[in-house]
A and B are shown apart, each in its own frame.
Chain A
Amino acid sequence: MMKKLSHLDWLESEAIHIMREVAGQCANPVLLFSGGKDSLCLLRIAEKAFRPGRFPFPLMHIDTGHNYPEVIKFRDKKTKELGERLIVASLEESMEKGTIVLKAPDEPRNKYQSITLLEAIEENEFDCCIGGARRDEEKARAKERIMSFRDEFGQWDPKNQRPELWNLYNAKVHKGENIRAFPISNWTEMDVWQYIERENLELPSIYFAHQRDVVKRNGAIVPITDVTPPSPDEKIENMIVRFRTVGDITCTAPVASNADSVEKIIMETASTVITERGETRLDDQVSEASMEQRKKEGYF
């Protein structure tokens, strides 16, 4: 009797296969690395796919300028450890160039990431971006392809996606067009945490329970930072919290939690009653179709 792969081995093997297809088919791919847990899984998969060789692509961070310092420090340390090349594409540069114009200086910057990303794609002539999006994250993602086609404007047209059959991926594009490849499409949040545990992956410290000054706003916990100050009538509390996702400061909220280890986070994830994005991504709550809208505009 032949042994069957466990679900983590199967998911890992599928992701390695997808990454190698990108390397085999695309002339100039890039891996998007935010320092977040999903992109850290991608890095481990890239190691398993390409070591002892080097990665056949550089890493790229779309920097909103509103980051938790722990995450940036971690990003740089991780890149150095791997000995791979990191490109930082910064929203602030796009603002200086005038391609991003904020409506108000303290406006959340997440939605502007698409502009900087598209500029970086054009400048570097990338034909494929590997990202850590998962189909279980959000409704509009459940129909996302593993290799998702974007036109010259970076637009995702849900009605014009290539059918994807067996494990045959079509990453062919014309100049200016782009593929977004999602090797961990079939992973759930639980799979990600189990993989982090199994592979003993190091994470930025803000994923684990720590003390932080926060205020409670519209049912969410909002951390107090330079870019998210409290309003005069809000009461600052010091709470023990952790982040379930890591993104731009203005749109990522922590949850109250005592989980200070991967094992405890897994137990918490198993018993949690709120989805990852619903709980901690302030930008998805605007409307039921908000993610679909942003993706059409070129968002990851």
Chain B
Amino acid sequence: MKKVLVDLTIREVEQLNATCVLLLMTAESPLPAVLPGQFAELRIDGTPTVMLRRPISIHSFSPEKNEIGFLVQLVGDGTRWLGNLKAGDKVNTLLPLGNGFTLPTDKNANLLLVGGGVGSAPLYYLAEELKRGGYNFTLLIGARSAKDLYRRDAYEALGRVEYTTEDGTLGQKGYVTNHTVLGEKFTQIYTCGPKPMMLSVAKYARENNVPCEVSLENKMACGLGACLCCVEDTKEGHKCVCTDGPVFSIDELKW
């Protein structure tokens, strides 16, 4: 897929909770096609401690509105700069990057999407595409507490959503891997979230013989497979998360 370097203009900034914002952006010309699970590298301007672009997963994408959404967790100087942007501001962006999730070929597939906290961001666009394709899917989202879950109405508008919270403030109390929905029969799992959660999901998938794709995250520089900084140690040696991933089948990983 052809990658572009484009100045995106912020249409809307929505503060979702204390540490998370949704940035909806557009471009003067039509945005390139984007696959669920791909990401972008956003340039951070005017912040002396930040030189490198920040890799951010694509949360939503609408060719009709020519709009792309990024869900940004405010963790450091770079993401805080993004969080302070206002409508009309511009962000130089490199996209689309990475491989994306593999969509099922079987229309009767029963799919499970497991997200943890802000890590569930790319699953929203995946769910949008699955809904558009008429697939049967369940979203299972886990968080520490109900207040850490964002855009619940938007997720619920796409289909069936189940929740777990560690403090029991929403859905079933505990971790995603303890949820009773896992007693159902699924044919494919997609997951993104904190690594311990993804490891547990991968274990469940192996034990139940269900194919599973995970979206990894690590420190990146170029985003283009050139610098070889963002490697994951796979069964076939070091692979770049930015170009060989960020989505990997668990069969490729040493998990």
Partners in one complex: no
Chain B residues within CB distance 8 Å of chain A:
none
Chain A residues within CB distance 8 Å of chain B:
none
